């Protein structure tokens, strides 16, 4: 994650055509229960961009339908600034244009709306056929950016998220929308400065914010990312009770680090909070090579004001996902995309209760993206499949690979052969048929 031009070559290079292809060839057998849409977002610049994170958003989608791969589509998210590339998020007076958006990070579905997200701006609604509907502000109730990593509580159906990026205080605010999509909570969060707050954690009873030392530096915007590592800002976690959002945040210090992504978090019976995260020693530190992300466990004791930090794996990994029906609960299994062994890439499945892991090793030159868990039945944490776009360097093309989540080391259940390359990207979701 540097400002070099690696993101404009190989599988990071943009694709220039929007395609639609029907009746895709499949190796293996697609389970008929897999009926829905797999959508994944990522940066795909129409012209040179200074950083991987700043390319225009393009969503790649595959429609699976009762054992067949019905279609593949890729479409740019046509935001206001897609139509007017001169439009910028930050104005000369420090205010923000929240409809200036590359909408390139995630795709989520809540209360009947599918939203393409980037943390600097408002969401943009798209259809399941990937057409852009337009900017979405919760009926005028949201005048802030929205994190690209909102959390949907599986028990209440509520959508929890935060907005950050205001140059003036409050730099961060916490929001909650009910199961019908109505914004019902807005709570400013007191932080000493504007930092890059990419993700957070949700449990049944708490929201946990990550105030970490990657600070805003507007003077670096021409380099692509207006953020840099700070040796002096410090690092802390903020705990807020869901049943008392106005009751204040309890802050506890952690060792300086950065977290792009949370695997999951949950409450323990003795009042602590366990969070599994992909942790970096630092990022965006000028003159330093970017370190690998590794799976760590934070055990937060709000009453004592302490955090116990445990590294669970020395191997690298990123893009953590669980069965989302267990978000905020004690999910036993988690999945990361990793380097694997012998130079091969892998999808790794962790048993967080036993501390063991298994992995699917891909052939040399094959590179998987984030793996989304799709349930096979109504039992949370049970049987299911992992779906991931996999790039094959030898053929310069991509497939949608389906793995059995309970036997990830086995050969794929099915491979959907796509008509084009899907460039390296970020996050997505499975949208089951209603």
Q: Tens digits of per-residue pLDDT, 115-149? A: 999 999 999 999 999 999 999 999 999 999 999 99
Would you state the pLDDT for residue 148? 98
* C-alpha–C-alpha distance, residues 312 and 35, integer Å: 35
Q: Report in angstroms the alpha-carbon separations of 272 from 204, 308, 399, 410.
A: 12, 11, 42, 37
Question: Residue 314 CB: number of other CB atoms within 10 A?
Answer: 8
- The answer to whether the CB of 349 falls within 8 A of the CB of 385 is no
Residue 57 pLDDT exceeds 80: yes
Q: Report in angstroms the alpha-carbon separations of 364 from 346, 347, 359.
A: 10, 14, 15
Confidence of residue 305 (pLDDT cuts 50, 70, 90): very high
Question: Any idea where the domains of the chain sit in the sequence?
Answer: 5-324
Q: Domain 5-324's class?
A: mainly beta
* C-alpha–C-alpha distance, residues 124 and 107, integer Å: 10
Would you state the pLDDT for residue 295? 98
Residue 103 pLDDT exceeds 50: yes
And the tokens for 271? 């009042």
Q: Which of 72, 37, 74, 71 is nearest to 56 (CA)?
A: 74
Angle at 269 between CA 280 and CA 254, to 5 degrees: 25
Provide the residue count of the chain: 434
Higher pLDDT, 92 or 358: 358
If you compute the radius of gyration of the chain from its CA atoms, what whole number of angstroms results? 20
Higher pLDDT, 318 or 219: 318
Please, what is the average pLDDT of the chain?
95
- The residues that bridge with 176 in the sheet, in sequence order, are 160, 185
* Residues 6+ positions from 16 with CB-CB distance below 8 Å: 46
**Stretch 69-77: mean pLDDT:** 98
- The answer to whether the CB of 196 falls within 8 A of the CB of 216 is yes
And the tokens for 419? 């008509």
What is the tens place of the pLDDT at every residue in 180-230?
999 999 999 999 999 999 999 999 999 999 999 999 987 655 556 789 999
And the tokens for 332? 């036993």
Angle at 326 between CA 235 and CA 242, to 5 degrees: 55
Residue 1 pLDDT exceeds 60: no
* C-alpha–C-alpha distance, residues 213 and 197, integer Å: 10
Least confident residue range of 180-194, 262-276, 333-347? 333-347
And the tokens for 383? 């049987």
Q: Which residues are annotated as part of the binding site?
A: 149, 198, 261, 427
What is the tens place of the pLDDT at every residue in 352-364?
999 999 999 999 9
Residue 2 pLDDT exceeds 60: no
* C-alpha–C-alpha distance, residues 367 and 160, integer Å: 32
* Residues 6+ positions from 238 with CB-CB distance below 8 Å: 189, 191, 208, 209, 210, 211, 249, 250, 251
The phi, psi pair for 8, rounded to 5°, reads -115, 10
Would you state the pLDDT for residue 5? 63
Least confident residue range of 42-56, 357-371, 396-410? 42-56
Q: Which residues are annotated as part of the binding site for Fe cation?
A: 149, 198, 261, 427
Is residue 400 exposed (0-12), middle (13-18) or buried (19+ Cβ within 10 Å)?
buried
Confidence of residue 271 (pLDDT cuts 50, 70, 90): very high
Would you state the pLDDT for residue 219? 65
pTM: 0.96
* 345 Rama class: left (phi>0) / alpha (psi -120 to 50) / beta: beta
Residue 55 pLDDT exceeds 60: yes
* C-alpha–C-alpha distance, residues 115 and 175, integer Å: 16
């Amino acid at each position: 994650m540097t400002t070099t031009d690696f993101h404009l070559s190989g599988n990071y290079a943009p694709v220039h055509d929007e395609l639609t292809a029907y009746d895709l060839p499949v190796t293996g057998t697609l389970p008929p229960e897999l009926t829905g849409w797999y959508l994944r977002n990522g940066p795909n610049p129409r012209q040179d961009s200074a950083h991987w994170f700043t390319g225009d958003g393009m969503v790649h989608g595959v429609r699976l339908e009762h054992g067949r791969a019905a279609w593949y589509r890729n479409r740019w998210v046509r935001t206001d600034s897609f139509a007017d590339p001169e439009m910028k998020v930050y104005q000369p007076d420090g205010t923000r244009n929240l409809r200036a958006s590359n909408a390139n990070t995630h795709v989520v579905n809540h209360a009947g709306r599918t939203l393409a997200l980037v943390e600097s701006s408002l969401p943009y609604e798209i259809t399941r056929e990937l057409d852009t509907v337009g900017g979405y502000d919760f009926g005028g109730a949201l005048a802030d950016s929205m994190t690209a990593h909102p959390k949907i509580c599986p028990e209440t159906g509520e959508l929890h998220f935060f907005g950050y990026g205001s140059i003036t205080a409050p730099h961060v605010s916490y929001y909650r929308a009910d199961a019908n999509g109505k914004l019902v909570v807005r709570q400013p969060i007191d932080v000493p400065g504007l930092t890059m707050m990419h993700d957070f954690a949700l449990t049944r009873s708490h929201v946990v914010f990550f105030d970490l030392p990657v600070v805003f530096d507007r003077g670096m915007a021409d380099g692509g990312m207006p953020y840099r590592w700070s040796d002096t800002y410090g690092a802390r976690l903020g705990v807020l009770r869901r049943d008392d959002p106005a009751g204040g945040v309890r802050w506890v210090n952690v060792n300086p680090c950065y977290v792009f992504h949370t695997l999951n978090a949950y409450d323990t019976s003795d009042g602590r909070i366990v969070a599994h995260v992909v942790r970096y020693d630092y990022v965006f530190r000028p003159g330093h090579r970017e370190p690998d992300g590794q799976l760590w466990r934070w055990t937060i004791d709000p009453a004592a004001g302490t955090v116990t930090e445990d590294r669970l794996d020395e191997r690298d990994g990123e893009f953590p996902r669980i069965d989302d029906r267990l978000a905020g609960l004690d999910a036993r299994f988690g999945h990361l995309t990793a380097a694997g062994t012998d130079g091969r890439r892998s999808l790794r499945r962790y048993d967080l209760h036993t501390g063991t892991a298994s992995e699917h090793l891909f052939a040399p030159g094959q590179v998987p993206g984030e793996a989304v868990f799709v349930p096979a039945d109504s039992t949370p944490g049970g049987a299911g499949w992992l779906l991931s776009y996999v790039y094959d360097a030898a053929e310069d093309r991509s497939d949608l690979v389906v793995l059995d989540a309970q036997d990830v080391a086995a050969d794929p259940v099915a491979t959907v052969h796509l008509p084009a390359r899907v460039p390296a990207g970020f996050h997505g979701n499975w949208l089951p048929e209603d």
